[in-house]
Amino acid sequence: MKIIRWGILGLGNIAEKFASDLLLIPHCVLQAVASQRKNHAALFAKKFNALSFYDHYIALLEDDQVDVIYIATLHPSHAQWSIEALNRKKAVLCEKPLAMNSSQVSKIITTAQNNNTFLMEALWTRFNPLFGHVLKWIEEGQIGKIRYIQASFSFFGLDRGLESRILDPNKGGGSLLDIGIYPLFLAYQLLGMPEKIMAHSILSEQQIDLQTAMMLSYKESQAMLYSGITHDEDMGAKICGEKGEIYLPSRWHDANRAVLRQGELEDQIEYPFVGLGYSYEIEETNQCLREKLLQSKKWRHSDSVQLMYLLDEVRNEAGIVYPEQEI
């Protein structure tokens, strides 16, 4: 079996989790990592058995031994480094959100197509085996026609400095792009594109969204969604149909248990995580590369386009404005 050689660009907290899971996957290797701080890159490489490390990103992108790059930088630079990688014929798994806006997403996908190179957004929930089982329940008609979805994602982040990733608008801060993307993903995956979107945000003095409430209206269904960084909560999700409901316990976006309720009857399924949950998107990428696919069948380029459109519409409705960073 072909060995897939990975590179990681940007070595923050999420990159550590990703690298930890990469060590669990057979027939792939962490070939190289890159940080803008050489000492940090060296320590990261030692901790996760990377064969090479660099103190600037271009060097990683030009490493002939690397097959695929995991982009784990701050949100505003996802587009820049994805395009740089794709133009060097490096396959890309880019952390969500794929970019800051629809224009940037379009440019990334066009670059991937022009270079005949694999690209996927790292929306890890989509590749969780439990989520696959939930989709199977729905496809089998276990809960009938979906009428209502409720999903939220929040945590307390106000104790972090104003220069932190979550509170700085120049770093794509706020709840929407970081965690609001998950409830929107759930509604999109199960119900498609809505007929109408209503959204309202509470903004900070720095104009990042502290709380965002969203309602997506469909012809015969509704989705009530929420993201926030002002409080902790029980982050469960409900998918309600005419014949029953599916409940995903906290934290629903990376849950390993789901409950199916049909009247007095109840069934549940459990999928204990392999590692921290990133292994599934790694395995999906590896399989796509071995099959010489240019996109995943589970999360296509068109899905990233549609999800970013929803994020843009919520921003417009709620008055969320980021410093635009065109590329």
- Domain match, 52 and 142 both: no
CATH of the domain at 268: 3.30.360.10
Q: Give residue 327's pLDDT band: very low, low, confident or very high (50, 70, 90).
A: very low
Report, as an integer, the average pLDDT of 202-212: 96
d(CA 34, CA 29): 15
User: Residue 324: pLDDT above 90?
Assistant: no
Interacting residues of 230 by C-beta distance below 8 A, sequence separation 6+? 154, 156, 157, 158, 202, 210, 211
Is the same domain home to 64 and 120? yes
pLDDT at 113: 98
| pTM summary value | 0.96
pLDDT, tens digit, 9 for 90 and up, residues 75-115: 999 999 999 999 999 999 999 999 999 999 999 999 999 99
Q: How far is CA 143 from CA 128, 131, 236, 238, 249, in A?
A: 21, 15, 18, 12, 17
Number of CB atoms found within 10 A of residue 32's CB: 24
Flag whether 263 is in a domain.
Answer: yes
Residue 325 lies in a domain: no
Number of domains in the chain: 2
Q: What is the pLDDT of residues 55-68, one digit of tens each?
A: 999 999 999 999 99
> Is the bond into 251 cis (omega within 30 degrees of 0)?
yes
Amino acid at 278: Y
For residue 73, tell me if it sits in a domain: yes
User: Do 96 and 185 fall into the same domain?
Assistant: no
Report pLDDT digits (tens) over 275-314.
999 999 999 999 999 999 999 999 999 999 999 999 999 9
Per-residue model confidence (pLDDT) at position 259? 97
Q: Indicate whether 269 belongs to any domain.
A: yes
Q: Is residue 15 part of a domain?
A: yes
Confirm whether 326 is domain-assigned.
no
Q: Are residues 121 and 240 in the same domain?
A: no
Based on the fold, state whether residues 35 and 146 are members of the same structural domain. no
**Amino acid at site 192:** G
Show the domain range for 267: 126-277+308-318
In-domain check, residue 157: yes
Shared domain check, 175 and 45: no
Condensed to tens digits (0 to 9), the pLDDT of residues 7-46 reads 999 999 999 999 999 999 999 999 999 999 989 999 999 9
The interaxial angle of helices 78-86 and 102-114, nearest 10 deg, is: 10
- Asked if the model's pLDDT at residue 326 lies above 70, the reply is no
Contact 2, 290 (CB under 8 A): yes
My answer on whether 16 and 59 are in the same domain is yes
Q: Specify whether 80 is located in the same domain as 171.
A: no
Residues 73, 32 share a domain: yes
Least Cα distance to 225 among 258, 197, 260 occurs for: 197
Instruction: Please determine, for residue 156, whether its predicted confidence score (pLDDT) is greater than 70.
Output: yes
Please tell me the predicted confidence (pLDDT) of residue 325. 55
Dihedral angle, C-alpha 12, 98, 55, 68, nearest 10 °:
110
The verdict on 58 and 141 lying in the same domain is: no
Would you call the peptide bond into 129 cis, given omega within 30 degrees of 0 as the criterion? Answer: no
Q: Is residue 323 included in any domain, yes or no? A: no
Residue with tokens 């994020």: 311
Examine the domain organization and report whether 169 and 312 are in the same domain.
Answer: yes
Asked whether residue 260 falls in the same domain as residue 196, the answer is yes
CATH label of the domain that carries residue 45:
3.40.50.720
